[in-house]
Structure 1
Amino acid sequence: MLGFTRLVSFLCLVLAALSLPVGAAQADTSRYAAFVVDQSTGVVMHSRRSDASRYPASLTKMMTLYMLFEAIETGEIGLQDQIRVSENASNAVPSRLGLDAGDTITVETAIRALVIKSANDVAVAVGERLGGGESRFATLMTERAGELGLTQTVFRNASGLPDRRQTTTARDMARLAIALHRDFPQYFHYFNEDRFTYNGRTYRNHNSLVGRVDGVDGLKTGYIRASGFNVVVSAERGDHRIVAVVMGGPSAAARDAHAEELLEAAFGTLEQREDTRLFAALASPRVSPMRQQELIAMDVAALHLAEPTEMGSSQPAPPVRIVLADEDEMAQPRISDTEPPTRAPSLLRGAWSVQVGAYNSADQARDQLDRVTAYSLTLNEAQPAARSVDINGSRLWRARFESLTEDEARQACEDLEARREACFAVAPGR
């Protein structure tokens, strides 16, 4: 099974956000939704709140691209044709390519700007070109989406910028991803490009999973304050193509980590199904990777998370630290505002702990504690503990090392992260 010990890293990243100062705004955890499907077979491998109404944010641009690809195929427009930028399009809020009214760009440049830069000004320009106006284009998008089976989706603009009437579901976004790959394989390579250059400036793909995670070849990220951090990701390994959707992440880093673990869990589950000899060799039952994700999602749903404070479209993920500060400030447009707040170090000694996993049995938690103890000298003086917690009527067991100072907890996590082990520092009282 691939990367089993990293299946809890999403929980690690999210719980670390609890170290924010008291009084920080609390997020509405109902924004979270996830859906994983094996596109090759149509088998749903993971579903949590996947039919609940959510805001798509810049995932909307996937539909804009579908409409654009369709127009190319019907001969309505060509890859080298020019799209003129209106004053309305030039005034779109960030993320933008920075086009002025009267500028023109090729259709191919527009595709890359939508996929890689998630440019709102380009989305508006495409909508006006194909629909005669963005509002009418949104109506056409909704109608076409319905024909594709996106029955719970309504579009009101081409970019995904805030509109309370523009809603979708995680399941519908997975359907759209599948339709893009199925109907336009000749253009799908644009989703797999990690950068593009325009006017002498190079832009990196907002989807950090492209080029980093085995098999990932698309698709799209998105963020507005009302939605949280969204991503639709597609990956192919062997005979299987997996589509995973995560909506409502508390930060881009946590969202990407969760999407990666969902993919690994899905491919790991397929690997188990295809190799029945693996089960015969086990001395005790193994936890299904996808079942482990269900347990983690239950734990996450009970947490209080820091709420994003600024509307905008998707931005690149910041560097991941052992304990996260307010990552959502990165959505603000000014560079000077993207640095996380600095917390004063705790003066409490022996009140901190580190968590190295969450499991559905005490024995599994204890096994994890025994396994990782040798990875950090700091843990030699800590107290291992398997702590139970009831979440939505189900019991989880958190594997923790207790009786540490803050510095010791952080050092232990640094040591474990160096060994690619999940770990987060737990403040007193958590």
Structure 2
Amino acid sequence: MIAFLRRGLFALLAASLVLGVHVRPIEAQSQESSRYAAIVIDAATGEVLFARHADSRRYPASLTKMMTLYLTFEALEQGKAHLNDVLTISPRAASQPPSKLGLAAGQTITLDNAMRATAVRSANDMALAIGEHIGGSEARFTNMMTMKAEQLGMTQTRYVTANGLPDARQLTSARDQAILARAIMRDFPQYYSYFGLHDWAYNGRTYRNTNGLLPTGRGYDGMKTGYTNASGYNLAASAVRDGRRLITIVLGGRSTASRNAHVAELMDTGFEVERRRAQGERIQVAQTFFEQRGFGLGGESATGDAPIAYASIRDDEEGEAPGSTAVAYTAAPAPAVLPTRVAPSPSERAASQRAAATAQAAGQAAAAPRAPHNVTASLNGAPASAVAAPSTTPRRTTPPPSREPARAAARAPAGRWAVQVGAFRDEKVANDWLTELNRRFRTQFATAERNVQTAGDWYRSRFTGLTETGAKSACEALAERRVTCMVIGPN
């Protein structure tokens, strides 16, 4: 038998050489899809619009907390728990690694605040404290979680931790997470808004939601992020546009930013399907429409790049394995460009050529600015519709801060040079991207003004009022982080 298998393998390899067929190693083929999985569904009908590896088992990471909160919502509805219940933090809960709220053993917190910490901060200690409060112990609570998953039809899911910290036995699938997300909205609409809180204030500190899509103005109103070394970057997202709601699950991303970008692309395509159907176009198999847009067997985007191809420099994602106290994020290849690019003006082209000469060592490309995927407009270019609020909204401790970039205080500009970091069809997107880069590169743009300039139908995001040296060094710093930019000299 062994000799027969060997002869068969030899014959296959020989045939590949004769016919010129490229046979990739099995390890290489499996590695590409070992963590990635995605699904897009219509929340109202449950129709699957797109699926890739949707039933393959994956690690849920902090998406686990969606089930933790589902059971909490159920206990609240049944009167077995109340929002003002006081939880005493156990030594086990206090010992959980980051991300965490950091209460010491013996300290107390209300169930309402523990839920907010779990949804917004993705606090591992609070998720465990909730599990112990609802179930009596983590083991009993995780049994409840697994039983509930079975009841909901989540056939690939098993829970052994209440917070999603690494355990090889804790598994799920993209389809199962979509089932859970839909169940939360269907069964507990009065509590769904916990997943959409942009921020939460507690003990004098404000925590921002780890879901970076919420403030983009694209109809995103909730769900959950997740990350461990084993799982990669996960995201369950939901959005409403033109009265229709979609749920998108992406598992196994390589970074926060590229995962968000891929979710946004899938969402945009899904809403495009819905829009065309509403206009009378017959699209019976939505999967085909996605594949025509470039989402191939590996989930690649329309640009041909991997859906999750570059790393984030954010520092507010969930923690890693037990025992870690910090999470390191590293830079990787640049994000893919939008399908449509902005042509530079002659003056900008000349400026970019000058910048290229000075930044050659940093590998900077002085080409037309590219808009990052995580802030793209929808495929049809239409603005997102207003999102209907859940029937009952949990109390907000403090109102969310404005997402618009703050106006710089009046001051004399340091210089007449500028750094352009993108061009967009949507003015708000242009402003949001300036705000994000200003947060990431505070040192480089400490003296700069944020400015959005119109150019026909485009809005150009620029940092202005810089000296020549300041502009070039800032652009070099961005280039090192694979953020596309262009130095603009005085007109």
* Paired residue type of 1:247: L
Distance 2:365 2:146 in 1: 49
The residue aligned with 1:164 is 168
* Aligned residues of 1:79 and 1:107 also touching (Cα < 8 A): yes
* Paired residue type of 1:71: A
* Aligned residues of 2:294 and 2:300 also touching (Cα < 8 A): no
The residue aligned with 1:90 is 94
Secondary structure (helix, strand or coil) at the match of 1:101 reads coil
1:344-355 paired onto structure 2 within 5 Å = none
1:284-303 paired onto structure 2 within 5 Å = 288-289=289-290, 291-295=292-296, 297-299=298-300
Which one of 152, 162, 176 corresponds to residue 156 of structure 2?
152
The residue aligned with 1:54 is 58
Distance 1:108 1:142 in 2: 24
* Aligned residues of 1:124 and 1:158 also touching (Cα < 8 A): yes
Distance 2:371 2:226 in 1: 31
Distance 2:42 2:298 in 1: 20
Secondary structure (helix, strand or coil) at the match of 2:49 reads strand
User: For the structure 1 residues 342 and 52, does the alpha-carbon distance in structure 2 shift closer, same or farther, using more than 3 Å as the test?
Assistant: closer
- Give the number of the structure whose alpha-carbon radius of gyration is greater: 2
The residue aligned with 1:196 is 200
The residue aligned with 1:210 is 214
* Paired residue type of 1:316: D
Q: Which has the higher contact order (CA 8 A, sep 6+)?
A: 1
The residue aligned with 1:411 is 366
* Paired residue type of 1:106: T
Distance 2:307 2:42 in 1: 31
Distance 2:363 2:344 in 1: 14
Distance 1:27 1:176 in 2: 27
Which one of 323, 339, 343 corresponds to residue 374 of structure 1?
343
Which one of 177, 180, 183 corresponds to residue 184 of structure 2?
180
The residue aligned with 2:109 is 105
1:120 aligns with 2:120: no
User: For the structure 1 residues 342 and 147, does the alpha-carbon distance in structure 2 shift closer, same or farther, using more than 3 Å as the test?
Assistant: closer
1:33-44 paired onto structure 2 within 5 Å = 33-44=37-48
* Aligned residues of 1:27 and 1:306 also touching (Cα < 8 A): no
User: For the structure 1 residues 175 and 303, does the alpha-carbon distance in structure 2 shift closer, same or farther, using more than 3 Å as the test?
Assistant: closer
The residue aligned with 1:79 is 83
* Aligned residues of 2:305 and 2:336 also touching (Cα < 8 A): no
* Paired residue type of 2:172: T
> Cα distance, 1:214 vs. partner?
1.8
* Paired residue type of 2:238: S
Secondary structure (helix, strand or coil) at the match of 2:223 reads strand
The residue aligned with 1:6 is none
The residue aligned with 2:407 is none
The residue aligned with 2:237 is 233
Identity %: 41
Distance 1:254 1:56 in 2: 18
Secondary structure (helix, strand or coil) at the match of 1:31 reads coil
* Aligned residues of 1:355 and 1:425 also touching (Cα < 8 A): no
TM-score, normalised to structure 2, is 0.60
> Cα distance, 1:115 vs. partner?
0.3
CA deviation profile, 1:84-113 (whole Å, cap 9, x unmatched): 110011000111000111111111101101
* Paired residue type of 2:34: S
> Cα distance, 1:168 vs. partner?
0.1
* Paired residue type of 2:236: V
* Aligned residues of 1:27 and 1:307 also touching (Cα < 8 A): no
Distance 1:259 1:375 in 2: 29
Distance 2:251 2:96 in 1: 24
When the two structures are aligned, how many residues end up with a matched partner? Answer: 331
Any stretches of 5+ residues in structure 1 without a counterpart?
Answer: 1-25, 280-286, 309-313, 319-327, 344-352, 358-367, 381-404
* Paired residue type of 1:145: A
CA deviation profile, 1:300-336 (whole Å, cap 9, x unmatched): 799698899xxxxx96379xxxxxxxxx9xxx7448x
> Cα distance, 1:211 vs. partner?
2.6
The residue aligned with 1:30 is 34
Distance 1:272 1:182 in 2: 26
Distance 1:69 1:273 in 2: 35
> Cα distance, 1:241 vs. partner?
0.9
* Aligned residues of 1:269 and 1:290 also touching (Cα < 8 A): no
Any stretches of 5+ residues in structure 2 without a counterpart?
Answer: 1-29, 351-359, 373-421, 426-481, 485-491
> Cα distance, 1:261 vs. partner?
1.2
1:135 aligns with 2:139: yes
> Cα distance, 1:411 vs. partner?
2.2
CA deviation profile, 1:119-167 (whole Å, cap 9, x unmatched): 0111111111111110111111000111011111000010000000000
> Cα distance, 1:276 vs. partner?
3.8
The residue aligned with 1:271 is 275
* Aligned residues of 1:219 and 1:232 also touching (Cα < 8 A): yes
Distance 1:307 1:316 in 2: 17
Distance 1:376 1:104 in 2: 60
* Aligned residues of 1:34 and 1:244 also touching (Cα < 8 A): yes
> Cα distance, 1:409 vs. partner?
5.8
Bigger Cα displacement from structure 2, 222-231 vs 405-414:
405-414
Secondary structure (helix, strand or coil) at the match of 1:419 reads strand
* Aligned residues of 1:28 and 1:307 also touching (Cα < 8 A): no
TM-score, normalised to structure 1, is 0.68
* Aligned residues of 1:262 and 1:293 also touching (Cα < 8 A): no
